[in-house]
Amino acid sequence: MNTNFNTILVITVLAMGLTVGLLISKGVTTTMIVVGNDVVFSESQLTFQSILINNFWVCVINILGFLSLGLMTLVNTFYNGLVFGNVIAFIYRSDLVTVWNFIPHAIPEIVAIIYSAKIGLCLGVYVFNQLYDSNITIRFFNYPMLKKYSIVVISSLIIGTIIEIYISPYL
């Protein structure tokens, strides 16, 4: 299983969740809190630390999904696509929030989700190979690449959080 396949699989699962989120969002309501001109969806999203921790746990769950041989990684990625779909549908129906309030910080968050899912899937394949003496090859699994992907995840999370707190509310 090469990294191109992992990337395609992760993006496909995320897109499927996004599509389902868009389709089922008609009946979903959300609680909004308006702070000045800013709209937030819950009180826990008001601080840099709470946003960073929330996004961090999404990525940790993706990476720890290797313990289920990648299944939990795919489920979590689908769920986060579903959440993105619901948010996009909400933005489309709302006059209070525009897509420009969402997209700038969503892009680094999506990058972090994709790369953390790639790590979880690759580690899952590695564990599968170790458990079952499988012949599935994994071209990704080496320490330098794992380190690079981890740096991408962490920096994407920090950049996304900075944008969400300090830039997106003013767009």
Cα–Cα distance between 81 and 41 in angstroms, integer?
17
pLDDT for the residue 33: 47
Q: What is the pLDDT of residue 138?
A: 56
**Identity of the residue numbered 19:** T
- Using a pLDDT cut of 70, give the percent of the chain over it: 78
pLDDT in tens, 65-104: 999 988 999 999 999 998 888 888 887 777 666 777 788 8
Positions of E strands within the chain: 33-35, 38-40
Domain segments of the chain: what residues?
3-170
* Token pair for 40: 């937030």
Q: Is pLDDT of 42 > 70?
A: no
The pLDDT of residue 135: 65
pTM (two decimals)? 0.80
Contact 22, 158 (CB under 8 A): no
Q: How confident is the model at residue 36 (pLDDT cuts 50, 70, 90)?
A: very low
Query: How many Å apart are CA 88 and CA 153, to the nearest integer?
Result: 23
Degrees to nearest 5, angle at CA 170 with 98 and 11: 50
Cα-only R_g, the chain:
17
Rounded Cα distance between 89 and 17, Å, is 13
pLDDT of residue 35: 45
Which letter does DSSP use for residue 70 in this model? T
What pLDDT sits at residue 157? 94
pLDDT (0 to 100) of residue 44: 44
pLDDT confidence band for 37 (50 / 70 / 90): very low
Q: What is the pLDDT of residues 120-164, one digit of tens each?
A: 988 888 888 777 876 665 555 566 778 889 999 999 999 999 998
| Candidate ranges 26-30, 32-36, 141-145, 151-155; pick with highest mean pLDDT | 151-155
Q: Write the CB contacts of 21 (distance below 8 Å, at least 6 apart in sequence).
A: 81, 82, 83, 84, 85, 86, 87, 88, 89
How far apart are alpha carbons 112 and 151 in whole angstroms? 10
